[in-house]
Structure 1
Amino acid sequence: MGTSGAGKTRFAEQLAVIKDLPRFEMDNLHWGPGWTPRLTFLDDASAAAASDSWVTEWQYSAARPILARRAHAMIWLDYSVPRRMYWVARRTLMRRATRASLWDAGLREEPLRTIFTEKDHIIRWAWRTRRNLDQLPGVVEREYPHLVLYRFTSPGQARRWLRTFRSRFVRRLGHAS
């Protein structure tokens, strides 16, 4: 869990590798051609979450109850607003510069001028929603009391947790770390 630019996807990738779990990316399930939401999004999210174990990003309010029913823990990347804004801007500029293809729909970042013309441009969206998760601990306690909430306020905290987690996992498998 985290707002745009917090590093949810990268963190989920790393955790999935460490735990050797399947990972599904919510943006990939959600976005179709022309940046339109896929009609099958909720069905696809339900199917992915139906497996025994998985890792994903906590995104899209319509899918949250589906994920919450099957999840055991939530990791909240609650980094500073300047850090998140820097990361989302850097990521957006890199995607635009490289014309990287995004998700199965093959989407690409729009021209940079759309930052000024599109209300929901990702950088504007990130700024507008930068405080949306400030009440998350209360929401989780009230709506999803079975979830264990881990909150990291810096990338270093998150990296240390992953390293510790990886270390324990590797030792359990009998490998040197």
Structure 2
Amino acid sequence: MKKVNVIGTTGSGKSTFSQRLAKKINAPYIQMDQIFWKQNWQESQDSEFFQRIEDVLSESTWVLDGNYSRTNIIKWRDADTIIWIDYSFCRTLFQLFKRTIKRIISGEELWPETGNRESFAKSFLSKKSIFIWFFKNYSHNKQGYSKLMYSSKIKHINVIRLCSPKEADLFLKNIEA
């Protein structure tokens, strides 16, 4: 396991798991959101985004945290493992809520030098609310990732599905660095 893409819906715990995995296998941790988002919540153009992904994935090992399905052809060309964090709807919603509140209170910058922070208005009152996105996409993502598990397009990749924090902890515990 040298080139890993951790996927899952927003709030599933991809980042936390990915950071722990990267440390365990001594690989760089790469967060796709950090590559995609510019200052003031400006989105990268696909051509720029794709090139930046190509650049960071040119390394011999990595743990890539993120979905962005339009990048699958790039991400999975050399990936040897996909780990799907597939926690229950209630668990994921709770984690998303807890994370969002923590970020709003702390005012932490999400990605260095972007100035991007979560706010109450952006998180709960905006048409682009992360919660609206979650409610619209949780089931769709689950169906898509379920199909992915058996797709012939990625038969060269080991796909692992983790359905609870206990499973994730056990998986990490059993990895030999």
Q: 1:136 aligns with which of 141, 145, 154?
A: 145
For residue 52 of structure 1, what is the aligned residue in structure 2? 60
Shift of 1:41: 1.5
Any gaps of 5 or more consecutive residues in structure 1?
170-177
The answer to whether the aligner puts 1:109 opposite 2:118 as a matched pair is: yes
Question: Higher strand proportion, which one?
Answer: 2
Runs of 4+ in structure 1 over 4 Å off: none
Q: SS of 2:29's equivalent? A: coil
For residue 172 of structure 2, what is the aligned residue in structure 1? 162
The answer to whether the aligner puts 1:146 opposite 2:156 as a matched pair is: yes
Shift of 1:115: 4.3
Higher relative contact order, chain-length normalized (CA < 8 Å, sep 6+)? 2
Q: In terms of Rg, which structure is larger?
A: 1
The answer to whether the aligner puts 1:61 opposite 2:60 as a matched pair is: no
State how far apart, in whole Å, the 1-side matches of 2:16 and 2:168 are. 11
Q: SS of 1:59's equivalent? A: coil
Change in CA separation of 1:116 and 1:103 when aligned onto 2, cut-off 3 Å: closer
Q: Residues 79-100 of structure 1, C-alpha deviation per residue, up to 9 Å, x if partnerless?
A: 0000100111111111011101
Shift of 1:3: 0.3
State how far apart, in whole Å, the 1-side matches of 2:71 and 2:42 are. 16
The answer to whether the aligner puts 1:2 opposite 2:8 as a matched pair is: yes
State how far apart, in whole Å, the 1-side matches of 2:110 and 2:121 are. 19
Q: SS of 1:74's equivalent? A: strand
TM-score normalised by structure 1 residue count: 0.87
TM-score normalised by structure 2 residue count: 0.87
Shift of 1:34: 1.6
For residue 11 of structure 1, what is the aligned residue in structure 2? 17
For residue 71 of structure 1, what is the aligned residue in structure 2? 79
Contact 2:40 2:115 in 1 (8 A): no
Shift of 1:127: 1.6
Query: In structure 2, what residue type is equivalent to 1:64?
Result: N
Any gaps of 5 or more consecutive residues in structure 2?
1-6
Contact 1:42 1:62 in 2 (8 A): no
Shift of 1:59: 1.4
Q: 2:44 aligns with which of 24, 38, 46?
A: 38
| Length, aligned pairs only | 166
Identity %: 28
Q: SS of 1:106's equivalent? A: coil
